[in-house]
Amino acid sequence: MHSSTIIASIIVLVTIAAKHSSVATHDSYLQALRRRTHAYNYDKNQQRNMFLRRLAQQLVEDEDSDESLRSAAWKRDNSVTNDGTILGIDPGGKLWTRANLNSDWIKVPYNLGQVSGITQLLNGTILGIDLGVTGITQLNDGTILGIDPGGKLWTRANLDSDWIKVSNTMGQVTAITQLLNGTIVGVDPGGKLWTRATLNSDWIKVPNTMGQVTAITQLNDGKILGIDPGGKLWTRATLDSDWIKVSNTMGQVTAITQLNYPKIPVNNNNIKDGDETDVDCGGTSGKKCAVGKTCKVNTDCDNVLCTSGVCQSPSCSDGLKNGGEADVDCGGPCSTKCDNGKTCSSTTDCVSKVCSGSQCQAPMNHDNVMNGDETDVDCGGSSGNKCAVGKTCKVNTDCDNVLCTGGFCSILGMNLVVNGDAETGPCGQDDTTIMHPTGWNYTGTVSQITYVASWDLTSSSPGPSNPGRCYFDGLTDSYTSMSQTVNINDAAILSLIDLGKASANLSAWLGGYANQDDNAKVTLSFYNQDGENIGNAITIGPVLSSDRGTTTELLFRQNSGMVPARTRSMKVLVEFTRLIGGFNDGAADNIAVVLSGSG
């Protein structure tokens, strides 16, 4: 036998824990004991007997010590019945059972070790004693109560704690039990019964204790069961009634108890039992209660709140991840989306609309998703990317150098002419320095000239309120020009054009020098996808000296017209013509082409 088995077999307190209540017959109890004890090897008893002799010697040598009150024990874990089986011990320490008072004693096989007294703890554990304690029971409050050979009472809070002597234990009892009503009953060496209301009260002799018993217990039905010195069973209905001999008490036992294992609730018996809050759920049942079931605390419910004693339906504000939510109160069916770092299962769960690695990611301007404060996919807002024509926008700065019109980046309403104000690129200071216009195709000597140059127009000359630094001038050639093509790629604008619902406005500030008729003229022409000129051109100018009142200045001119259907590009042509003198004094500034739509 292994040393661990020897130690487990000879410890001073016997504990046999019943862990199940599913076996329903007396025979099943015996079968359970056989199953448990069959595994032991009882051929090697020499080590066990040697240990018992050493233990007995120690107890004799130190009989007054606390150790002398420690009992030897054998532990059995059995799946035994809860049917009230009566368990007795014979003078040889062997266990016997009977299903009821009138049935036969049946010997329990494989009785390893010897015990002289026995009881059952409230948790179902069977506790037996051998040397040092003559009687034992467990009180209703769980305290273990023992009697020493001198009849004094000792208690221990649990199996592993120390014995503590009970004060005021006058008189001697050799066996003890507690009745269902809490009364403690003891048996003295003469077989007389004594009671005490509490551990600390005095023993009171029970009248009419005719006959002698050496051990006592109380059965489930309230009967008091005693054993006489010959091992015969006697019962009395109450403490004050007479002892009645039990028939058919073959065999002899010196100690007795009745097995009453605590009922173990099960979570599939369709009964609300144990600490369940509803049928087969809640409490410590191991099953959570569904919505609508009774509960006490949130943990009784299946991941929902317990409110007013009822498991509630999942909600998007209950502080729990339930009801298909991706994370706590967000995603899934909730209108609230999950913040960055929260769990997600799809892009629709996230505020950022980006779910990667089951986690909502921070918005980025290259994640192919419109998120953050972007006005369209990866553009607008603070993304750092400008939105192209046709993309959604809120303000002009969301768009890539076009206007935000009607919530879309559009060329409608914006000046489509590049460098129409002569402010891009260098400007000449006089007639000797030619600075051709930036962003334009040109012929001849057309140039960008500063308003402060020693030439025709100065910063104080009448003209636009925002003249900027420079303007366009013909300079010297009798005829010179500049032009640029505006391509139309916006599908929305093209649709308006083809429906005949787009118009173009051409404007500019045009003028010349004093009483000379040198002039500038601007023409807007339309072309289809094959580059063919279509429709009617829009023209402004020229502005002659008579229009200016012979004053050197620029006058505002504009003209509008419908954009011909099938137009895919427009050409802006600015012509400067010299009619008198040695210089071409035709001038222009702030040239603009603006499209608009109707319907």
Q: What is the CATH number of the domain that holds 501?
A: 2.60.120.260
Q: Give yes or no for residue 164 having a pLDDT over 90.
A: no
305 and 326 both lie in a single domain: no
225 and 289 both lie in a single domain: no
What's the number of domains the chain is made of?
Answer: 4
Q: What per-residue confidence (pLDDT) applies to 52?
A: 40
167 and 283 both lie in a single domain: no
Q: Would 375 be classed as within a structural domain? A: no
Q: Would 398 be classed as within a structural domain? A: no
Residue 227 identity (one-letter amino acid): I
Sign, CA torsion 109/113/118/121: negative
Q: Would 74 be classed as within a structural domain? A: yes
Q: Would 20 be classed as within a structural domain? A: yes
Name the 3-class secondary structure at 8.
helix
Q: How many angstroms from the chain centroid is the CA of residue 596? A: 54
Q: Would 410 be classed as within a structural domain? A: no
Q: Would 563 be classed as within a structural domain? A: yes
Task: Please confirm whether the linkage preceding 542 is cis (ω < 30° from 0).
Answer: yes
The mean pLDDT value of the chain amounts to: 80
Q: Which helix (H) or strand (E) holds 54?
A: helix 46-61
**Tens digits of residue pLDDT in 426-457:** 999 877 889 999 999 999 999 999 998 667 89
**Tens digits of residue pLDDT in 172-198:** 677 888 887 888 888 887 778 888 888
Q: What per-residue confidence (pLDDT) applies to 111?
A: 60
Give the 3-state DSSP-derived string for 386-411, with helices as H, strands as E and coil as C: CECCCCECCCHHHECCCEEECCEEEC
- Which residue range is the domain that position 291 belongs to? 270-313
| Ranges 262-266, 456-460, 594-598: which has the least confidence | 262-266
Q: What is the pTM of this model?
A: 0.45
148 and 248 both lie in a single domain: yes
Residues 41-52, mean pLDDT to the nearest whole number: 40
Q: How confident is the model at residue 85 (pLDDT cuts 50, 70, 90)?
A: confident
Q: How confident is the model at residue 261 (pLDDT cuts 50, 70, 90)?
A: low
| Ranges 96-110, 193-207, 219-233, 464-478: which has the least confidence | 96-110
| Ranges 85-99, 183-197, 390-404: which has the least confidence | 85-99
Q: Would 369 be classed as within a structural domain? A: no
Count CA atoms within 13 Å of residue 590 on its CB side.
17
| Ranges 238-242, 336-340, 407-411: which has the least confidence | 238-242
Q: Would 50 be classed as within a structural domain? A: yes
